[in-house]
């Protein structure tokens, strides 16, 4: 801001020139779509993962650490319980065939107690995972919203000429929700699925590496099919949300300017425009249904093919080890329980790795949304009303005169 001061014997005047805000990609947050302005939204830029947590304090770090440990334990508990199913199958079909009368019930009771223990651990860790990450994200998002709103309010008036003021309130609510989701429960879910996938593969290869290698060939297909189905559904849902938002914007704009609509006799035009937006919502719903149906069919087709190959090869190994001329003896022999453990561990691991994709996508979305928020928070206003810099007059007397005013719109 430029100030020019002067006075004569009778007058004291101050001339103030308000600078024009220049839209720079790394300075301003602009509307996502506008055809009437030259504003351009930065594309492809993201905040780093650590920058998402710049408002975290000591309590938040403790919550995130506990939530991370709980998520990893919850994920690891899922494949461990598969080993209990294998023990149950072996208990129903003892390999020796001459078990003592009470041995069967003893073996079953042992597995039941193991299920109770692992269920209790998963209950506590699952609650801790969601609670810790959700509470931490809520605490940080509150600080983020405050900083974001404060940054908007301290911008100079010229900044609002190149940024849509009507969209700022929505951005404060919606964009911060995206960031909150990407640095909260979705992070815990991603760690849960990654832990589940890695632990499942370790268990599978430990109990039978030959069968694991056969099934592992189908793992990318299962993971990719699950990920593609989830991604297609997400894209279809997002398209529906955008279409409904467009239709709602048309309705809100027309109703808020209903006198103008009647003045130009544009009721039919507005209604047709609204109907066109509704048709896009219908198309988005159809796309969602097709995506869900096709994706589900492909995913289950790949899974059932995996089941067929796994069961066939498992039966071959059991036949060779248990029914061959020389019966296999030792811990490395294949039986029904071992095949079930390896089989379902591989399937669970591949599914878990595929389900980790949406969580990673939520984190990437949060990083993209946070970039614009942090750019505005760090932007220095051309006129900072909260700054104490500059010359301060102890006493100001006289009158204010506006002469030869020249107004320039950006």
What is the per-residue pLDDT across 108-139, written as a single tens digit (0 to 9) for each?
888 899 999 999 999 999 999 999 999 999 99
Q: Give the pLDDT of residue 4.
A: 44
What is the per-residue pLDDT across 300-354, written as a single tens digit (0 to 9) for each?
888 888 888 888 998 888 888 877 677 776 667 888 888 899 988 988 888 888 7
Mean pLDDT of the chain, nearest integer: 80
pLDDT-based confidence at 38, cuts 50/70/90? Answer: very low
Provide the residue ranges of all domains of the chain, joining segments of one domain with +.
1-206+366-410, 209-333
> What percent of the chain shows pLDDT beyond 70?
82
Mean pLDDT of 253-275: 85
pLDDT-based confidence at 196, cuts 50/70/90? Answer: very high
The CA-CA-CA angle for residues 167, 168, 169, to 5°, reads 95
Taking the alpha carbons at both ends of the chain, their separation in whole angstroms is 16
Neighbours of 396 (CB within 10 A): 9
The 3-class secondary structure across the chain, one letter per residue, is CEEEEEECCCCEEEEEECCCCCCCCCCCCCCCCCCCCCCCCCCCCCCCCHHHHCCCCHHHHHHHHHHHHHHHHHHHHHHHHHHHHHHHHHHHCCCCCCCCCCHHHHHHHHHHHHHHHHHHHHHHHHHHHHHHHHHHHHHHHHHHHHHHHHHHHCCCHHHHHCCCHHHHHHHHHHHHHHHHHHCCHHHHHHHHHHHHHHHHHHHHHHHCHHHHHHHHCCHHHHHHHHHHHHHHHHHHHHHHHHHHHHHHHHHHHHHHCHHHHHHCCCHHHHHHHHHHHHHHHHHHHHHHHHHHHHHHHHHHHHHHHHHHHHHHHHHHHHHHHHCCCCCCCCCCCCCHHHHHHHHHHHHHHHHHHHHHHHHHHHHHHHHHHHHHHHHHHHCCCCCCCCCCCCCCCCCCCCCCCCCCCCCCCC
pLDDT at 47 over 80: yes
CATH fold of 209-333 reads ABC transporter transmembrane region fold (1.20.1560)
pTM of the model: 0.67
Cβ neighbours of residue 377 closer than 8 Å, sequence gap 6 or more: 147, 148, 151
Q: Give the pLDDT of residue 60.
A: 93
Q: Give the pLDDT of residue 93.
A: 76
pLDDT-based confidence at 29, cuts 50/70/90? Answer: very low
> Is there a common fold for 1-206+366-410 and 209-333?
yes
pLDDT at 1 over 60: no
The CA distance from 212 to 85, in Å, is 17
> What percent of the chain shows pLDDT beyond 90?
20
Q: Give the pLDDT of residue 75.
A: 93
Mean pLDDT of 255-265: 84
pLDDT-based confidence at 44, cuts 50/70/90? Answer: low
pLDDT at 228 over 60: yes
What is the per-residue pLDDT across 133-154, written as a single tens digit (0 to 9) for each?
999 999 999 999 999 888 888 8
pLDDT at 215 over 70: yes
Mean pLDDT of 210-221: 83
Instruction: Identify the CATH class of 1-206+366-410.
Output: mainly alpha
Q: Give the pLDDT of residue 258.
A: 87
Q: Give the pLDDT of residue 229.
A: 73
Mean pLDDT of 27-34: 38
Most confident of 38-52, 121-135, 205-219, 272-286: 121-135
pLDDT-based confidence at 99, cuts 50/70/90? Answer: low
Q: Give the pLDDT of residue 385.
A: 67
């Amino acid at each position: 801001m430029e100030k020019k001061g002067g006075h004569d014997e009778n007058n004291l005047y101050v001339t103030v020139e308000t600078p024009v805000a220049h839209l720079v990609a790394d300075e301003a947050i602009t509307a996502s779509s506008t055809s009437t302005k030259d504003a351009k939204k930065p594309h492809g830029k993201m905040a780093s993962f650590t920058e998402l947590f710049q408002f975290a304090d000591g309590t938040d770090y403790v919550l995130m650490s506990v939530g991370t440990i709980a998520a990893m334990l919850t994920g690891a508990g899922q494949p461990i319980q598969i080993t209990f199913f294998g023990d149950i199958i072996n208990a129903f079909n003892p390999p020796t065939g001459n078990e003592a009368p009470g041995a069967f019930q003893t073996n079953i009771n042992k597995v039941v107690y193991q299920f109770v223990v692992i269920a209790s651990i998963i209950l506590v860790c699952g609650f801790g995972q969601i609670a810790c990450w959700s509470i931490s994200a809520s605490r940080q998002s509150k600080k983020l919203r405050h900083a974001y709103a404060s940054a908007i309010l301290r911008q100079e008036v010229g900044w609002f000429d190149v940024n849509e003021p009507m969209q700022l309130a929505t951005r404060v609510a919606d964009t911060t929700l995206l960031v909150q989701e990407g640095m909260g429960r979705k992070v815990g879910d991603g760690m849960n699925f990654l832990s589940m996938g890695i632990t499942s593969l370790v268990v599978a290869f430990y109990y039978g590496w030959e069968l694991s290698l056969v099934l592992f060939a189908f793992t990318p297909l299962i993971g990719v099919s699950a990920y593609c189905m989830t991604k297609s559904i997400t894209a279809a849902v997002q398209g529906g949300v955008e279409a409904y938002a467009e239709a709602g914007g048309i309705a809100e704009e027309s109703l808020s300017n209903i006198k103008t609509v009647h003045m130009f006799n544009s009721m039919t035009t507005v209604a047709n425009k609204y109907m066109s937006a509704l048709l896009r919502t219908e198309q988005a719903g159809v796309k969602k249904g097709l995506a869900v149906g096709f994706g589900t069919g492909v995913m289950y087709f790949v899974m059932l093919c995996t089941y067929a190959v796994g069961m066939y090869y498992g039966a071959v190994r059991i036949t060779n080890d248990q029914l061959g001329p020389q019966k296999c003896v030792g811990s490395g022999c294949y039986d029904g329980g071992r095949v079930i453990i390896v089989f379902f561990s591989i399937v669970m691991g591949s599914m878990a790795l595929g389900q980790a994709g949406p969580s990673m996508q939520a984190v990437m979305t949060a990083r993209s949304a946070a970039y614009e928020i942090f750019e505005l928070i760090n932007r220095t206003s051309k006129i900072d009303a909260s700054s104490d810099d500059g010359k301060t007059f102890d006493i100001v007397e006289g009158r204010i005169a506006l002469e030869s005013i020249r107004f320039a719109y950006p």
